[in-house]
Amino acid sequence: MRRLQHPRTIPDSSPAYFVAFVPGHGDHDYRVPRPSIAARLLKPLIQSGLWNINRDAVGNIEDVQAELVEESVGAAIGICWRHRELEMETKRRDFERGVDGLMEFGAEVMGELYEAGYSQDQVTVLGNEMVTKLMIAFPSPAKEVQERVDFTVPRTGSETSLTST
């Protein structure tokens, strides 16, 4: 990890950014990735069976059960990292595309955090923040979205036409 020569500017009002406070290391800024990236980050956890998402009849998330895989959490932290003063030396672009490269990237991010003096408890704080934000950004499956859309009764022509007074 290296200190940035010029602090990174983080937009104050952007909903894509959030701050996580890490005891002993202060505030850490992150950017939530677009939903397709969030899905890629969560996919290894879901497919492994280590993470189960239970949805209610409408498709809302009721419960999440997870045993967090360190490499997946590391990948999430690394991709979302936007610390104002510190830059990760580990870059996603240096690893192969796909799940294996993503997990290698995540393992390197975790190693970099530990080498920089972050404890397991401090990394857990970061991981919890990442998983929470990714779950919020995680899109509902297309079938569930379509079922919600199809749930409403279609309007008749008279209900949708413009009227003038």
Instruction: Summarize pLDDT for 130-159 with one digit per residue, the tens.
Output: 777 777 766 555 454 445 444 444 455 554
Contact 50, 69 (CB under 8 A): yes
165/151 Cα distance (integer angstroms): 32
The answer as to whether 23 is a domain residue is no
The answer as to whether 49 is a domain residue is yes
69/50 Cα distance (integer angstroms): 8
The answer as to whether 92 is a domain residue is yes
The answer as to whether 155 is a domain residue is no
Instruction: Summarize pLDDT for 47-106 with one digit per residue, the tens.
Output: 665 556 666 666 665 555 544 577 888 888 998 888 889 989 999 889 888 878 888 988
17 DSSP β-pair partners? 31
Instruction: Summarize pLDDT for 3-51 with one digit per residue, the tens.
Output: 989 998 888 888 888 888 888 898 888 888 877 777 777 777 666 655 5
The answer as to whether 19 is a domain residue is no
The answer as to whether 6 is a domain residue is no
130-146 in b/e form (b: 16+ CB < 10 A) is: bbebbeebbebeeeeee
The answer as to whether 125 is a domain residue is yes
Range of the domain at 74: 35-139
Specify the number of domains making up the chain.
Answer: 1
**φ and ψ of 6, to 5 deg:** -125, 125
Specify the pTM: 0.68
The answer as to whether 146 is a domain residue is no
83/64 Cα distance (integer angstroms): 28
The confidence score (pLDDT) of residue 151 equals 47
